């Protein structure tokens, strides 16, 4: 079988065919490159882009900021949130800090109180610990002195002790229970902060915390009937002083009205109060081994007539009520009679001496 030779196509046909082939190749290239670009964007969105913000805009260090980390947030999500709030300078720094302690699976969701431009390692440590409760409690027990109260408030709130001192002495806190001198000292605030359990938000400042305690004392004092006390010529503030003496002396609750009656009877006699707790306050101690009834101080009721110049502790409501309504007794003396803190009461000095001897025989007194 023989074939006839196929004639060669014209030149213009060959040129068109070549152009078509070239166009197809170029189009295929665009498809491949475009698909790769799309795939790259898809993967990039899944694992996090390198175009995340690196430096916060117009942010100064140390500014408090509340940050909400939603449940299910990845480490990269959290980094972006922190950068957006100015907590860290860059997401990369945060992610490196996470990797350094292998904390990627330990970061906890919740609401956090941060400041701007923190050390990323500190932020990671906080996120691993978890959010601090937005509300916290502080318990101030009865009988504490002013410095002791401020110490408790500082330890529980995290605010420096000196900030509480400055708030009290700088006029940021007020009370209607007494007129403060122009240049007050801490002792001028003695007994004017009510002992109780309080709840505060993390944003509460020292002045706000103190004002809450001062206002609560105002409310408690004003809710008590003081007319019988005031008829004797005394003020509510002097009633707080008496209540503080009761709070500092009494360990058995039932004895509060009895000790109040001794104080009331001695003031009426008149006799010096001779209360040991005032001497310890004057000495700035609670150590009874350091007791010195000769200490020169306006608080020493062995050497001075009447009440001390201020309360000596923070009285609770029961002591305030006892001061306003003492028991009706002839007692002028009391002495410790048992290790449980209870006292023996006496109307005469002779009876009081017998109670002292009995306490010594029982090993209660040296």
Predicted confidence (pLDDT) at residue 15 exceeds the cutoff of 50: no
The average pLDDT across 196-218 equals 95
Residue 337 has pLDDT above 60, yes or no: yes
Closest CA to 130 of 103, 157, 160, 97: 103
Angstrom CA distances, 355 to 71, 78, 301, stand at 69, 72, 21
Secondary-structure class of domain 64-129 per CATH: alpha beta
Greater pLDDT, 141 or 136: 141
Per-residue pLDDT band for 325 (boundaries 50, 70, 90) equals very high
Burial label for 31, CB within 10 Å (0-12, 13-18, 19+), is: exposed
Which is more confidently placed, 330 or 59?
Answer: 330
pLDDT in the model for residue 251 = 96
Q: Rounded mean pLDDT of the chain?
A: 87
In the chain, domain spans: 64-129, 135-222, 227-329
The whole-model pTM stands at 0.69
Instruction: In whole angstroms, give the CA distance from residue 337 to residue 343.
Output: 5
Strand bridging mode 197-201 / 135-139: antiparallel
Residues 240 and 250: their CA atoms lie apart, in Å, by: 15
Contact in structure between 140 and 152 (CB atoms under 8 Å)? yes
Nearest to 90 by CA among 53, 60, 119, 125: 53
pLDDT digits 0-9 by tens, 87-137:
999 999 999 999 999 999 999 998 888 999 999 999 999 999 998 777 889
């Amino acid at each position: 079988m023989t074939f006839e030779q196929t004639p060669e196509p014209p030149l213009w046909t060959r040129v068109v065919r070549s152009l078509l082939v070239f166009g197809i190749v170029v189009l295929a290239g665009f498809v491949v490159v475009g698909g790769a670009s799309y795939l790259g964007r898809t993967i990039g969105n899944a694992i996090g882009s390198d175009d995340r913000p690196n430096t916060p805009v117009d942010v100064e260090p140390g500014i408090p900021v509340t940050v909400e980390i939603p449940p299910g947030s990845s480490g990269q999500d959290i980094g972006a949130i922190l950068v957006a709030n100015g907590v860290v300078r860059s997401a990369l720094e945060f992610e490196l800090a996470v990797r350094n302690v292998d904390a990627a699976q330990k970061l906890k969701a919740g609401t956090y109180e941060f400041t701007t431009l923190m050390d990323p390692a500190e932020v990671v440590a906080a996120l691993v610990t978890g959010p601090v409760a937005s509300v916290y409690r502080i318990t101030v027990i009865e009988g504490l002195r002013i410095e002791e109260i401020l110490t408790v408030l500082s330890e529980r709130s995290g605010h420096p002790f000196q900030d509480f001192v400055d708030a009290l002495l700088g006029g940021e806190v007020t009370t209607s229970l007494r007129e403060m001198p122009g240049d007050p000292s801490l002792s001028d605030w003695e007994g004017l902060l009510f002992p109780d359990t309080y709840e505060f938000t993390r944003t509460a400042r020292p002045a706000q915390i103190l004002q809450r305690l001062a206002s609560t004392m105002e409310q408690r004092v004003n809710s008590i009937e003081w007319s019988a006390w005031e008829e004797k010529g005394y003020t509510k503030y002097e009633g707080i002083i008496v209540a503080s003496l009761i709070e500092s002396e009494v360990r058995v609750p039932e004895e509060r009205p009895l000790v109040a009656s001794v104080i009331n009877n001695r003031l009426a006699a008149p006799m010096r109060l001779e209360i040991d707790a005032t001497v310890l306050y004057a000495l700035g101690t609670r150590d009874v081994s350091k007791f010195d009834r000769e200490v020169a101080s306006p608080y020493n009721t062995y050497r001075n007539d009447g009440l001390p110049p201020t309360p000596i502790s923070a009285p609770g409501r029961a002591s305030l009520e006892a001061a306003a309504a003492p028991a009706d007794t002839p007692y002028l003396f009391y002495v410790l009679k048992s290790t449980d803190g209870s006292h023996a009461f006496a109307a005469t000095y002779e009876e009081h001496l017998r109670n002292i001897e009995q306490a010594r025989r029982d090993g209660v007194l040296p």
